[in-house]
Structure formats: C-alpha cells, structure tokens
Structure 1
C-alpha cells in the first residue's frame, strides 16, 4: 500500500470534489451527454470519484480496476447493442479511464480511448474541468456516431446525469 496515496485519499474532504464539479458543471456534462446521444446508439456515463476507501487502498486498486468495477455497478454494459461507455475520473489520483462495452470496444481502437483519457487529464490539470469534461463527452459521442449512428428509434437506455462518488 502506498502510504502517501492512502493519506491523500482518506483525508481529502468531500467538499473538494463538489467544488470542482459544482451543480453547474454537472448540468453542462449532462447536457453534453444528452446532445451527443441523439446522434448515436451508444450510451455514455460520466463518473467522478474522490477518495477511495481503505480496503481499495490496501489492495492497491488502481483507476482502471476501479473503473471496471464502477462500469459493472452502474450497469453500463446493460444496453441492447453493448455500446455503453464509461468515462471514469479518479480525481485524487488525477487519472481518467474509459471502459467501453464489447460492442463499442470491437469497433473503436483502444488508442482512441487512451488519447481521450490523457487529453482529459491535461484539461483537469490546467483547471478546465467543465470544458475538458464536455469536450471528452463530445469526442466519445463523435466516435460512437461514426460506428453507431442514430436510428429513428433511438431510446435513451441509461441516465445522462453524471455521478459523483
């Protein structure tokens, strides 16, 4: 277990995350998700997590492992065409991970997801939370539109509202 990481996670106040991701920022991300989902058959979820719990820290859970767990817990995989995509932000570790369900993962190269993650991390480091998050959502939407364009019957299968953990 990384002691400095554990201290950072266990002592971080909850308001720290809410300050960066205010209701206005969350509404902007939700609007971006809603706008882009009208153009494709995919589903996008956006999750930001502050501190991890002691058990996860003890086991050395990294952002990728946690993203896969959140993907499952939020049932992002539960879409008809398996086109769910999770954008997961581990705020205190300054890491972003994208987990794509098998339908999207078969068509969109991992390099696209990795580049989006690194770009969003840069935006966050420069203090552009709202802009960076919305740009990332739009870029995920662009990729999904390329491979899974909307049809006349295009149901919204998952909530668009971002989640703060």
Structure 2
C-alpha cells in the first residue's frame, strides 16, 4: 500500500456528503447491475490466488466526512473487510464513492510489490473517465476485467 498524507479537514466535503441525495445519483445500481458486477468480481478472481473486492458507496459516513477523504475510507474498508487476510497478501479493493466522484484501488503488499502505483492510477483514471460519461457499470466491469488480467 502506498502511504499518503492525511487529508485536510474540509467543510466543503462534509457539506457535499450532507446534502447528497443517493436516490438521484444511484439509479444505475439496480439489482441486475449488482448481480452483473458480482459476477464480474467472481470472474476477475479466476486463474490466480488474489481476491478482488468491490465497494460502491453513495457517500462518506457523515460523522467522518469532515476529517476523511475517499482514499482514507478505502484504506479503512480494506482493513474492515480484511482484504489483506489472504495467504499471499494478494487482496485488491476497488472503492467507488459516488458523491465524491472518486475511485480508489487499494492493493495488498503481495501485489503492490509487483505493480507500480502509476499502473493503478492509470486504471482508476480510465474508469473515472467512463464514469464521468455516465457509463458507471460498463466502466466498473472493464476495470474489474483489467484487474483480473493483471492479477493473472
């Protein structure tokens, strides 16, 4: 994992989270879309010893939004969901925060030793470009494909 400096407290970030209306922004995440994304995660895990987790959140927890950003939340979830708890430290968490328009990939040390942070960043940037064009599901499916190929 790459270490980052702690985020600055932000009233703007807290305000964005407080006024965010999930119903207006998450219509794309239907039961069928969730099933397709779940199937794609399963497919991305085939052919290697890594584990892939996808977490899509509407917004940061309100009680923490002032002091944390999406990257910190992704690292917290990496720990909370024990993504690191694989035999060869080969877990990868993909975190999407809809309100913040952000996507982060947190890879365990068994993978980070072999994959440059610039590769992860390029994958995030590509997916975010698709998300910005209102292609949420397709962008995430393509990203999960790329992660599966990279892990193989």
- Could you say which TM-score interval applies, normalised by the shorter chain? 0.7 to 0.9
Partner-residue secondary structure (3-state), 1:54: coil
* Structure 1 position 5, deviation (Å): 2.8
Deviation per CA, 1:85-140: give whole Å up to 9, x if none. 00001111111110001101111111111011111111111011111000000101
Aligned residues: 144
Cα-Cα RMSD: 1.5
Distance 1:56 1:96 in 2: 18
Q: Does 1:87 align with 2:100?
A: no
Note if 1:117 corresponds to 2:124: yes
1:33 is matched with: 41
Gaps of 5+ in 1: 146-165
Q: Which has the higher contact order (CA 8 A, sep 6+)?
A: 1
Looking at secondary structure, tell me which structure has more helix per residue: 1
Deviation sequence 1:42-92 (CA, Å, 0-9, x none):
110001111223332221x11111110010011101111110000001111
2:14 counterpart of 1:6? yes
Q: CA separation in 1, counterparts of 2:137 and 2:65?
A: 28
In the alignment, what sits opposite 1:15? 23
What is the aligned counterpart of 1:54 among 62, 85, 98?
A: 62
